[in-house]
A and B are shown apart, each in its own frame.
Chain A
Amino acid sequence: MAFIEDPAFVLSYLRQAFITSDDTGMSEMVLVDEDIEHWDSIKQEREGTPKTRSTSEKPQNLEYGDISQSFDITASSLDWGIRRRTNTAQRLEKLKKERQNQVRCRNVQWKEKSVDLSSEEMAGMFEKKDLSEKKSAAVPQHTSVLAEQLEQSPVLTNNPFIEFSKFDGKGHVGSTATKRVDIFLTMTTGKERNFPLTVVVLATARVQDLIGLICWQYTNEAKEPKLIENVEAYCLHIAEDDGEVDTDFPALDAKEPFAKFGFTTLALVEKPKDKEQQSEIMLVTVNVPHSGFSRIQVESLGLTMKEILHRALKRRKGRVDPSGPDYVLEKQSQPGVCVDLDSTLDSMNTMEFCLVRQHSTRGEVEEETEVNRNMSEMEASLSSLHYKSYRVNMFTKLRTSTIIQLGVSGEKIEIDPLTQHKSTAAKFLSKQKPVSYDADLVAACEVTDDKHGRETFRLTYQSGSDFKHHDFEASSSVATEVVTKINHILELRASPVRADYLAFKERKASKKHGLLS
């Protein structure tokens, strides 16, 4: 129990003790205001005291007299109650520990011989052994313990994960930093699945190394089924104590040091096979001289060129007679060189090809366009009647966007949804049925918004007696191309619907104008 007579000190102490470490703020309410009032009175009291005393108290005042206005000071920042031990104390303890270790370790210092040994002692210590007896008694051939053990131990099939065994921390506990983890093996069944494999890993290992170590131990213990001989086929997920894999969290990053994760229970999971690659849509462009080009969606790079040719011909049915002369594919960059139809798309190193008739060239077309560059406007309007497809985002009523294929030709405009690989919710909300609109029903197409290289455009069409619209979004170049193309078509066709729409718009505008004025 302390006996303190200075009220200023008591107040200061209370402030420090309560306010600074009180999260609720209650002590603040109780103490602060009165505190200040009291403070003033104390101060006045002090000023009345003789000069000599106040000077002697001045340094003390500095210590606790000024009220700190900051309540951000927390107990931890002040090390309240717990004082860090000094360096000296820590060093002393270390020395003490070392000394204790040395007590257990006997130290023998080399000493030069001080006394001459008697010949008797010398003889006792360094007498030569007679080897002639041993020579005569030939040791019969025996099998060593090692040989026996080797025979008994199961023939270890070459463990493909041997390189990771160096991260095994078993037998290092206490001498090196290690971590013990329970690993649930999701590929096993039955009892194996329910009980984790305990792995001791060096603290220096990365996640990848830990996976390797698990695989090594798994193989050593001859567990079934056999693992894929590649650590990259596996990943580590957070798991519950009962072995349930927590899939809400992503797998641990294989390149990170494992020690930074605090988990003691994990699950070894086989990675799903390259899901990402599947969901990526790849498009192959096949140019057809005189009649534009087609984009063909492919699901893998393993397709043969024959299949691509087949799809290209199918797509261009009507414009190119598939039953007619034979067609071949050339790389767009290499005119006149046919590609091997049995090779895969992967080996082509390009996604752009040209469809040409066998024994003919495509050169003339290119030359032609070269000559008639100034007629490009005209040509564009003519070629606008050709079918062309674009990949754009379509906004649904709920303003979610979905990728669709917009096919534009002189006759109609088609909207085909591309299969979605995203979450089920998005699929549900944005289901877009394939529709097509007769070109004669299309009323207008215009760019409505332009930001950061992405343009939004609106396609207006007649449905029954009123006009409806779809909103799309695409990169500026694509959007401009689509809008230009459709407008060309509309101009060329000059359908009554468009005339109606223009009149309707004019009326609306004048009405608005009227309302405003």
Chain B
Amino acid sequence: MSKDKRSTMGSNGVTNTDPVILATAGYDHTIRFWQAHSGICHRTVQHPDSQVNSLEITPDRQMIAAAGYQHIRMYDLNSNNPNPVVNYDGISKNVTAVGFHEDGKWMYTGGEDSCARIWDLRSRNLQCQRIFQVNAPINCVTLHPNQGELIVGDQTGAIHVWDLKTDHNEQLIPDPDASIQSVSIDADASYMAAVNNKGMCYVWTLSGGSGEEHTQLLPKTKIQAHKRYALKCKFSPDSTLLATTSADQSVNIWRTTDFSLKCNLALKNSTLTEQVQKRWVWDCAWSSDSQYLVTASSDNMARLWAVEQAEVKREYSGHQKAVICLAFNDCPPT
């Protein structure tokens, strides 16, 4: 692919060099790209044969990875090619998590085959594939900001800290009867949060994790974040807030200073429709200024919230089925 082709205009006058990328996907086998500020869908690509479990934009903003059943597919962000350009397969079950090394050296995935994998992105001969096996299907994988440790959460409620260089791993189980749904570490690696299917949110303070030293986890607090299933947790880029999404159809925003509730992002009763029972909030993403939160929910919609006012700013409507994952990037390369 030549460089100049990548900078061409999209078919509908929407430049592909839009500094803000928002993509959503879920059960309708499509990935939709949105103009975040207008709510207009400017591109749709097919994701055949499978739902999309997770989406992630590559650090160079050239491609987007979609994790589905037995595949991870990469789509070109800067062309209108409706087909994937790279297809990673050879995995037996659902891939539930996908992410990238910040310099794009490798990609990590986790799946229901109980394996976390490292895929070499630099060369075609895949000389440094890595695999880490746990005892239960993996729900979530997060990369420590030090780029050297993977945090893996599984269905038996265990959180594994896998040191990629030394293969050393540590395991902790906050609650043996609950499945870990999501793990998040804030940008300066001071806190780690994990949520489970009982609606509990556990927070640890982190230390170490540089050089040969492994990261040490020190329990800080635990909060009943939601009454029902908690599905996702994410620290804001400025580390001041933590968002937890839930099956109770709302998102809670917590202050990291004392882990008190700042606000609850839920739709007012007046706008509730018959689909209210299905509106699980599956995924969320922060804007780089920590002022806005994009959420994906099973009422086929994605929404943009202004966190301070706790109100919906934009709605992204177009999916025919539940939206369960999203990818957002508003940091154009400088």
Residue pair A111, B126 in contact (C-beta under 8 Å): yes
Specify the chain B residue showing the minimal Cβ separation from A167.
B318
Specify the chain A residue showing the minimal Cβ separation from B84.
A105
Residue pair B127, A117 in contact (C-beta under 8 Å): yes
Which of the four size classes fits the interface of chain A? 35 or more
Known interface pairs A171-B41, A175-B30; A122-B145 also in contact (CB < 8 Å): no
Residue pair B37, A131 in contact (C-beta under 8 Å): no
Residues of B within 8 A of A132 (CB): 210
- B positions within 8 Å CB-CB of A: 11-12, 19-20, 30, 32-33, 36-46, 80-91, 102, 105-106, 117, 119-120, 126-131, 145-149, 164-165, 187-190, 209-211, 238, 287-289, 291-292, 300, 313-315, 317-320, 330-332
Residues of B within 8 A of A111 (CB): 90, 126, 129
Residues of A within 8 A of B332 (CB): 145
- A positions within 8 Å CB-CB of B: 101, 104-113, 115, 117, 121-123, 125-132, 134-135, 139, 141-147, 149-150, 152-153, 156, 162-163, 165-166, 168, 170-176, 220
- Tell me, in angstroms, the Cα distance from A412 to B320 when the chains sit together: 71
20 chain-A/chain-B pairs, Cβ below 8 angstroms = A105-B86, A110-B90, A111-B129, A123-B165, A128-B209, A129-B102, A129-B147, A130-B210, A134-B187, A145-B288, A146-B330, A150-B314, A152-B37, A156-B314, A162-B317, A165-B317, A171-B12, A175-B30, A175-B82, A220-B40
Residues of B within 8 A of A125 (CB): 105-106, 120, 128, 164
Residue pair B128, A121 in contact (C-beta under 8 Å): yes
- Tell me, in angstroms, the Cα distance from A329 to B36 when the chains sit together: 64
Specify the chain A residue showing the minimal Cβ separation from B316.
A165
- Tell me, in angstroms, the Cα distance from A234 to B146 when the chains sit together: 59
Taking the closest CB of chain A, its distance from the CB of B68, in whole angstroms, is 14
- Tell me, in angstroms, the Cα distance from A17 to B164 when the chains sit together: 77
Taking the closest CB of chain B, its distance from the CB of A178, in whole angstroms, is 10
Residues of A within 8 A of B83 (CB): 101, 104-105
Residues of B within 8 A of A112 (CB): 129, 131
Residues of B within 8 A of A108 (CB): 86-89, 119, 126
Residue pair A107, B128 in contact (C-beta under 8 Å): no
Residue pair A142, B289 in contact (C-beta under 8 Å): yes
Interface centre among B38, B85, B314 (most CB of A within 10 A): B38
Residue pair B128, A156 in contact (C-beta under 8 Å): no
Known interface pairs A107-B89, A110-B90, A129-B148; A170-B330 also in contact (CB < 8 Å): no
Specify the chain A residue showing the minimal Cβ separation from B106.
A125
Residue pair A144, B288 in contact (C-beta under 8 Å): yes
Residue pair B106, A168 in contact (C-beta under 8 Å): no
Contact of B292 among A115, A117, A147 (CB under 8 A): A147
Residue pair B147, A110 in contact (C-beta under 8 Å): no
Residue pair B37, A153 in contact (C-beta under 8 Å): yes
Residues of B within 8 A of A149 (CB): 20, 36-37
- Tell me, in angstroms, the Cα distance from A356 to B148 when the chains sit together: 96
Specify the chain B residue showing the minimal Cβ separation from A135.
B188
Residues of A within 8 A of B90 (CB): 109-111
Taking the closest CB of chain B, its distance from the CB of A196, in whole angstroms, is 17
Residues of B within 8 A of A153 (CB): 37-38
- Tell me, in angstroms, the Cα distance from A163 to B318 when the chains sit together: 9
Taking the closest CB of chain A, its distance from the CB of B238, in whole angstroms, is 7
